[in-house]
């Protein structure tokens, strides 16, 4: 049997970073070949093709760049010889790129993202091991039908739900909704549940303007109105609890929806579904009233993931009804 073929796309981030001895600053400097050299037994795992995509920190990756990257990954997966694609990425926004890959990948083969918290100049860098595990997952037949995964710390996460929880700790990634999808341990690749099914989206672009507005106690509608007057294409709200916002902003939300701009609701809670239970049938700002006003609940997605999803839907020219349906099922 020929060895599985895996494409490794590199983008920069800590996994490819070294400390510059002159300035002391840490920056992406390692080439894809440098990274693979740090995985001495890689040839026993897969036949790997390294491809540099970019060499930057992930907070500078824009949605259009994410779309290019994910499209490149999917194109590589369409090649029959490729078992999976690994994307090395900065940890700060890997969850957004992972979300996009989850939405777009129709191939039945996985986009496997990986990252690191300790750069290559530090003692005990986690990047080489994470890269090795990501290549194992991408090469494994067990990973079929998982659209997009994040592999770090011997743990396999569904990229749709994973989020960064610590600024510096190597065990930063968690999947508060349902826990990890599986393990990449010394004993092998094991998934704890099947991937689930959901339709894919095909955006022509990711250029829409969609801000995230975190709500606060005592907030009024002026910021929501400012965004509407600015002409944003949609809005993601991050409310509190089960999905509630201060009642004083509801008129602004209603004006946004009347202007045909989708408003998607998320919560600042780290786990649990949105539950539209509170309301007066009027302007309480409770989730019940928000749904009646036409706000779209983002199910279990974080604000940053819901924003990527909304950008993709707008870029695919989907109707507000279709967007609503998609978010309810995610």
What residues make contact with ligand ASP under the rule CB under 6 A? 13-14, 57-59, 90-92, 115, 117
| Active-site option among 14, 88, 107, 163 | 14
Biggest CA-to-CA distance, the chain: 66
Q: Which residue lies nearest ligand ASP, judged by its C-beta?
A: 90
* Residue 304 phi, psi (nearest 5): -65, -35
Tell me the CA distances in angstroms from 134 to 2, 34, 59, 131, 312, one per residue in order. Answer: 19, 16, 22, 5, 26
Nearer of residues 57 and 143 to ligand ASP, judged by Cβ:
57
Rounded Cα distance, 94 and 81, in Å: 26
CB of residue 57 to ligand ASP, shortest distance in Å:
3
Q: Are 126 and 163 a contacting pair, CB within 8 Å?
A: no
Tell me the residue ranges of DSSP E strands in the chain.
5-10, 17-19, 26-28, 47-52, 82-88, 111-114, 148-152, 155-158, 163-164, 173-174, 182-185, 188-191, 212-214, 235-239, 263-267, 296-297
CB of residue 34 to ligand ASP, shortest distance in Å:
16
What does DSSP say about strands 47-52 and 5-10: parallel, antiparallel, or unpaired?
parallel
CB of residue 122 to ligand ASP, shortest distance in Å:
12
What are the helix (H) ranges across 15-168?
32-37, 42-45, 63-78, 94-104, 127-139
Q: Is 165 a catalytic residue?
A: no
Nearer of residues 63 and 90 to ligand ASP, judged by Cβ:
90
Which DSSP state fits 240?
B
Q: Are 219 and 191 a contacting pair, CB within 8 Å?
A: no
Contacting residues for 243 by C-beta, under 8 A, at least 6 apart: 265, 266, 267, 274, 275, 276, 287, 290, 297
Nearer of residues 14 and 83 to ligand ASP, judged by Cβ:
14
How many alpha carbons lie under 13 Å from residue 240 in its C-beta half-sphere?
11
Nearer of residues 152 and 296 to ligand ASP, judged by Cβ:
152
CB of residue 143 to ligand ASP, shortest distance in Å:
23
Measured CA angle at 148 (ends 46, 83), to 5 deg: 25
CB of residue 47 to ligand ASP, shortest distance in Å:
27
Tokens for 151? 């592999």
Tokens for 42? 């890689």
Nearer of residues 59 and 197 to ligand ASP, judged by Cβ:
59
CB of residue 322 to ligand ASP, shortest distance in Å:
32
Name the residues annotated as catalytic.
14
């Amino acid at each position: 049997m020929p060895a599985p073929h895996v494409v490794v796309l590199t983008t920069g981030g800590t996994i490819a970073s070294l400390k510059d001895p002159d300035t002391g600053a840490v920056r992406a400097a390692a080439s894809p070949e440098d990274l693979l050299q740090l995985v001495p037994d890689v040839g026993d795992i897969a036949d790997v093709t390294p491809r540099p995509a970019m060499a930057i920190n992930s907070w500078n990756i824009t949605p259009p760049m994410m779309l290019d990257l994910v499209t490149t990954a999917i194109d590589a997966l369409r090649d029959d010889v490729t078992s999976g694609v690994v994307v090395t990425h900065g940890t700060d926004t890997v969850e957004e790129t992972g979300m996009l890959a989850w939405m777009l990948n129709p191939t039945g083969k996985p986009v496997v993202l990986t990252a690191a918290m300790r750069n290559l100049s530090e003692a005990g860098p986690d990047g080489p091991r994470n890269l090795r595990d990501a290549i194992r997952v991408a090469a494994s037949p067990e990973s079929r039908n998982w659209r997009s995964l994040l592999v770090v710390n011997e743990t396999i996460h569904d990229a749709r739900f994973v989020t960064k929880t610590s600024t510096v700790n190597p065990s930063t990634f968690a999947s508060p909704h349902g826990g990890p999808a599986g393990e990449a341990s010394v004993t092998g690749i094991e998934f704890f549940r099947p991937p689930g099914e959901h339709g894919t989206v095909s955006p022509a672009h990711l250029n829409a303007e969609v801000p995230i507005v975190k709500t606060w106690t005592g907030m009024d509608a002026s910021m929501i109105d400012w965004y509407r007057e600015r002409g944003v294409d949609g809005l993601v709200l991050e409310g509190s609890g089960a999905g509630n916002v201060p009642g004083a902003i509801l008129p602004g939300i209603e004006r946004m929806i009347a202007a045909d701009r989708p408003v998607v609701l998320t919560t600042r809670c780290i786990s649990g579904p949105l539950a539209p239970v509170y309301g007066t049938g009027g302007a309480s700002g409770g989730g019940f009233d928000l749904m009646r006003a036409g706000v779209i609940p983002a199910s279990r997605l974080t604000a940053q993931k819901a924003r990527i999803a909304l950008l993709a839907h707008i870029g695919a020219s989907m109707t507000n009804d279709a967007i609503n349906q998609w978010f309810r099922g995610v």
